[in-house]
Amino acid sequence: MRESSAGRTPQHAQFVLFGAMGDLAWRLIGPALYNLHLDGHLPQEFALIGVDREISVDALRQRWRDGVDRFSRRGRAEQADWDSFAGLLQVHAMDLTQPAQYEGLKVRLDVAAEKAGAQVFYLAIPPRLFAAVTDGLASVGLQRPRGRARVVVEKPLGDSLQAFCRIDQSLRSHFEESQIYRMDHFLGKETVQNILAMRFANPIFEPIWNRRYIDHVAITVAESIGVGHRAGYYEHAGALRDMVQNHLLQVMCLVAMEPPVAYDADDIRNKKLDVLRACRRIPADDVRRFAVRGQYAGGWIEGEAVPGYCDEPDIAAGSNTETYAAIKLLVDNWRWQDVPFYLRTGKRLAATVSEISIRFRDIPHNAFPADTGLNSQPVRLVIQIQPQEGIILKFMAKQPGSPLRLRPVDMRFSYCDAFKTASPGAYETLLRDLLAGDATLFMRADQVEAAWSLLMPVLEAWAANPALDFPNYPAGTWGPEAAERLVARDGRAWLTPSAPRAAASSGRCD
């Protein structure tokens, strides 16, 4: 059973971060560890060992200080706070591809091994190096004992079902499934975790959470940023692999899953897996009816001209990588039969906003006069993931006065108003759970495998038939027209996200 994280942090832990000088450590892991430290959520005895080919304590401190100043939710570090955190940083220089060098790491870790509660090996490195590291760790026995050693990996976990299976096999040749923590940072977001609380800690939603009352579900993860400095990775990935295969499908599973029997890692993950297993296979010869891709052309975002994808640094001219993907899924089970789930995501869209829109069915009979305005906007529940964090119920109400007019109104819950405090960052939540040995918010291999296998027909069809119309949406819009047609064919439309805001403005309470 999953308990609250408080009180579960082990007394002792060793945290070995491979790739400590890299981008992930700089942007996300370092700032998250720093905040956990300031909030008193790290183990009392915590050995934080940054591993990289070329590394020194000074270089690591300098790089992480920069990362904290730029990316920490607390803003720039106060000198005293930084100094207390910087004192934790140790380093170990080694070439990860040299098996002989793992002995040195073991000796280093053995010094405090008898006290080491959890021993975390975080692979913040490209997946091509995973096998070298796990083989190296196993060659000196660092994959044991099972209850202590944990290995953490992040996407990209392959670029296809086959590639994922290869990576996973090599991880599992040394580590048990219970020792492997696969990160999907969306699962650490408070608003995403709250989906289960909303659905299963209240009696009012579950009775209407089904095909009788719900017309369709739309999940939007829109970003106004472009590909940034990640061309090398993104060119090969594209929006479907980068976002849909993991974040959007995981969110969909939380919306569509059956109630768990217990708030327990395996029970919840089993129920999520059932959703993926129930998704109707996309026919390889009819992918067009279920999936749409797009690539941004130059355009305007917040009054600034921005280049098209192919004019971004290090992107090949004429690249066929999609920066937008929309997909329609049907879940073949009693609860969801014939209720489409529309998922869309893209870069350089009109706003940065992630939300789930649950559109309820129309009333069965309209007793009001035709001119009252009923159904000018359908009733829906909007779960705002970011930057606004909250839930909005949109429904019809009588406008004061006469003649009788009906008008859509909003009933709002906002985290900021309700809790008056900033949510912890997703990485903070996940790192705390990792140290506590709680895998509920991490992806199990069978889930990742099911997600890949669901998307393979689309990936294969897209690879075999390059898009002829790229670029097909101007930066600063809501994506290609074909995405509108995807839902229009079903007599529906994407609804503009509830409160689009520019990327820079945050709805967070900080």
Which one of 52, 190, 215, 242 is in contact with ligand BG6 (CB under 6 A)? 242
The helix or strand, by DSSP H or E, that contains position 360, with its residue range, turns out to be: strand 353-360
Closer by beta carbon to ligand BG6, 120 or else 244:
244
Q: Are 85 and 38 in contact (CB under 8 A)?
A: yes
Q: Are 168 and 131 in contact (CB under 8 A)?
A: no
Q: What is the 3-state secondary structure (H, E, C) of 140-166?
A: CCCCCCCCCEEEEECCCCCCCHHHHHH
- Give me the 129-168 binding string for ligand BG6, x by CB under 6 A, dash otherwise: ----------------------------------------
Half-sphere exposure of 337 (CA within 13 A, CB side): 3
Please give the structure tokens belonging to residue 389. Answer: 């964090």
Provide the total of helices (H) and of strands (E) in the chain, helices listed first. 15, 18
Q: How far is the CB of 223 from ligand BG6 (least distance, A)?
A: 6
Closer by beta carbon to ligand BG6, 191 or else 440:
191
Closer by beta carbon to ligand BG6, 242 or else 428:
242
Separation between Cα atoms, residue 24 and residue 152, nearest integer Å: 13
Half-sphere exposure of 194 (CA within 13 A, CB side): 18
- Burial of 251 (C-beta count, 10 Å sphere; 0-12/13-18/19+): buried
Q: Active site includes 247?
A: yes
Closer by beta carbon to ligand BG6, 223 or else 438:
223
The interface with ligand BG6 within residues 57-86 (CB under 6 A) comprises none
- State the virtual CA torsion across 47, 177, 163, 274 in degrees, nearest 10: -130
Which one of 52, 223, 355, 428 is in contact with ligand BG6 (CB under 6 A)? 223
Q: How far is the CB of 250 from ligand BG6 (least distance, A)?
A: 11
**Residue at shortest CB range from ligand BG6:** 242
Q: How far is the CB of 185 from ligand BG6 (least distance, A)?
A: 6
Going by C-alpha positions, the residue among 152, 116, 105 that lies closest to residue 43 is 116
Q: How far is the CB of 399 from ligand BG6 (least distance, A)?
A: 37
Closer by beta carbon to ligand BG6, 52 or else 223:
223
DSSP helix/strand/coil, 132: helix
Please give the structure tokens belonging to residue 104. Answer: 């040195």
Please give the structure tokens belonging to residue 343. Answer: 């998922």
Please give the structure tokens belonging to residue 61. Answer: 């401190």
Q: How far is the CB of 369 from ligand BG6 (least distance, A)?
A: 45
- Give me the 162-201 binding string for ligand BG6, x by CB under 6 A, dash otherwise: -----------------------x----------------
Separation between Cα atoms, residue 143 and residue 135, nearest integer Å: 9
Q: Are 392 and 381 in contact (CB under 8 A)?
A: yes
Q: How far is the CB of 53 from ligand BG6 (least distance, A)?
A: 24
Separation between Cα atoms, residue 295 and residue 282, nearest integer Å: 22
Please give the structure tokens belonging to residue 99. Answer: 């098996």
The helix or strand, by DSSP H or E, that contains position 343, with its residue range, turns out to be: strand 340-346
Q: Are 388 and 414 in contact (CB under 8 A)?
A: yes
Interface with ligand BG6: number of residues (CB under 6 A): 3
Q: Are 46 and 13 in contact (CB under 8 A)?
A: yes
Q: How far is the CB of 154 from ligand BG6 (least distance, A)?
A: 8
Length of the chain: 510
Going by C-alpha positions, the residue among 398, 396, 400 that lies closest to residue 410 is 396
Q: How far is the CB of 28 from ligand BG6 (least distance, A)?
A: 9
- Give me the 270-309 binding string for ligand BG6, x by CB under 6 A, dash otherwise: ----------------------------------------
From residue 126, alpha-carbon distances to 59, 119, 122, 258, 446 in Å are 21, 21, 12, 35, 22
- Identified catalytic residue from 37, 41, 216, 247: 247
Q: How far is the CB of 184 from ligand BG6 (least distance, A)?
A: 8
DSSP helix/strand/coil, 392: strand
Q: How far is the CB of 265 from ligand BG6 (least distance, A)?
A: 22
DSSP secondary structure, 172-233, as one string:
HTTS-GGGEEE--GGGGSHHHHHHHHHHHS-TTTGGGSSTTTEEEEEEEEE-S---TT-HHH
Site residues, ligand BG6 (CB under 6 A): 185, 223, 242
Residues labelled as active-site residues: 247
